[in-house]
Amino acid sequence: TVLVVDYGAQYAQLIARRVREADVYSEIVPSSTPVSEIVAREPAAVILSGGPASVYAEGAPELDPALFEAGIPVFGMCYGFQAMARALGGEVAPDGTREYGRTEIALSDTPGTLHEGLPGTHPVWMSHGDSVTAAPAGFTVTASSDRVAVAAFEDTGRRLAGVQYHPEVGHSPHGQEVLRRFLHDVAGITPNWTTASIIDETVAAVREQIGDGHAICGLSGGVDSAVAAAIVQRAIGDRLTCVFVDHGLLRAGEREQVEKDFVAATGAKLHTVDAADRFLDALAGVTDPEQKRKIIGREFIRVFEAATAEVVADHHVGFLVQGTLYPDVVESGGASGTGQTATIKSHHNVGGLPDDIEFALVEPLRALFKDEVRTVGAELGLPEVIVRRQPFPGPGLGIRIIGEVTRDRLETLRAADAIAREELSAAGLDEEIWQCPVVLLADVRSVGVQGDGRTYGHPIVLRPVSSEDAMTADWTRLPYDVLERISTRITNEVSEVNRVVLDVTSKPPGTIEWE
Ligand code: XMP
The pLDDT > 90 percentage for the chain reads 84
- Out of 27, 78, 214, 436, the active site residue is 78
pLDDT tens, 274-292? 999 999 999 999 999 999 9
Q: In 3D, which of 176, 157, 158, 156 has the Cα closest to residue 166?
A: 176
- Nearest alpha carbon, ligand 1 atom 10: 393
Please indicate whether residue 384 is annotated as part of the active site: no
226 is in an annotated binding site: yes
For residues 156 and 110, the answer to whether their CB atoms sit within 8 Å is no
Spell 434-470 as b/e; 16+ CB within 10 A means b: bbbbbbbbbeeeeeeeeeeeebebbbbbbbbbebeee
- The beta strands (E) that lie in 51-170 are given as 74-77, 91-93, 99-107, 121-128, 131-134, 140-145, 152-155, 160-163
Q: How far is CA 6 from CA 29, 46, 49, 60, in A?
A: 6, 11, 6, 13
Please indicate whether residue 201 is annotated as part of the active site: no
- Out of 99, 154, 168, 423, the active site residue is 168
CATH number 3.40.50.880 given to 2-186: yes
* Residue-range domain boundaries for the chain: 2-186, 195-387, 404-502
Tell me the residue length of the chain. Answer: 515
CA of 133 to the centre of ligand 1 (A): 48
Provide the pLDDT confidence category of residue 53 given band limits of 50, 70 and 90. Answer: confident
pLDDT tens, 188-240? 999 999 999 999 999 999 999 999 999 999 999 999 999 999 999 999 999 99
323 is in an annotated binding site: no
CA of 401 to the centre of ligand 1 (A): 15
The pLDDT > 70 percentage for the chain reads 95
- Nearest alpha carbon, ligand 1 atom 6: 470
User: Measured from the CB, is residue 123 less than 6 Å from ligand 1?
Assistant: no
CATH number 3.30.300.10 given to 404-502: yes
For residues 155 and 137, the answer to whether their CB atoms sit within 8 Å is no
pLDDT tens, 468-481? 889 999 999 999 99
Amino acid present at 159: R
Cα(262)–Cα(217) distance, rounded to whole angstroms? 13
- Nearest alpha carbon, ligand 1 atom 16: 393
Burial (CB count <10 Å: 0-12, 13-18, 19+), residue 334: middle
Mean pLDDT of 72-88: 96
Please indicate whether residue 78 is annotated as part of the active site: yes
- Nearest alpha carbon, ligand 1 atom 14: 393
Complex ipTM value: 0.99
For residues 194 and 280, the answer to whether their CB atoms sit within 8 Å is no
Rg, C-alpha atoms of the chain: 27
For residues 193 and 25, the answer to whether their CB atoms sit within 8 Å is yes
Same fold, 195-387 and 404-502: no
225 is in an annotated binding site: yes
pLDDT tens, 446-470? 999 988 899 999 999 999 999 988 9
Q: Which CATH architecture has domain 195-387?
A: 3-Layer(aba) Sandwich (3.40)
Three-state SS letters, 175-239:
HHHHHHHHHHHHCCCCCCCCHHHHHHHHHHHHHHHHCCCCEEEEECCCHHHHHHHHHHHHHHHHH
Amino acid present at 443: D
Average pLDDT, the chain: 93
CA of 292 to the centre of ligand 1 (A): 14
Q: In 3D, which of 287, 253, 273, 290 has the Cα closest to residue 406?
A: 287
User: Measured from the CB, is residue 507 less than 6 Å from ligand 1?
Assistant: yes
Ligand 1 pocket mutation pick from 220, 290, 512 by most atoms within 8 angstroms of CB: 512
C-alpha torsion sign, points 366, 264, 309, 221: positive
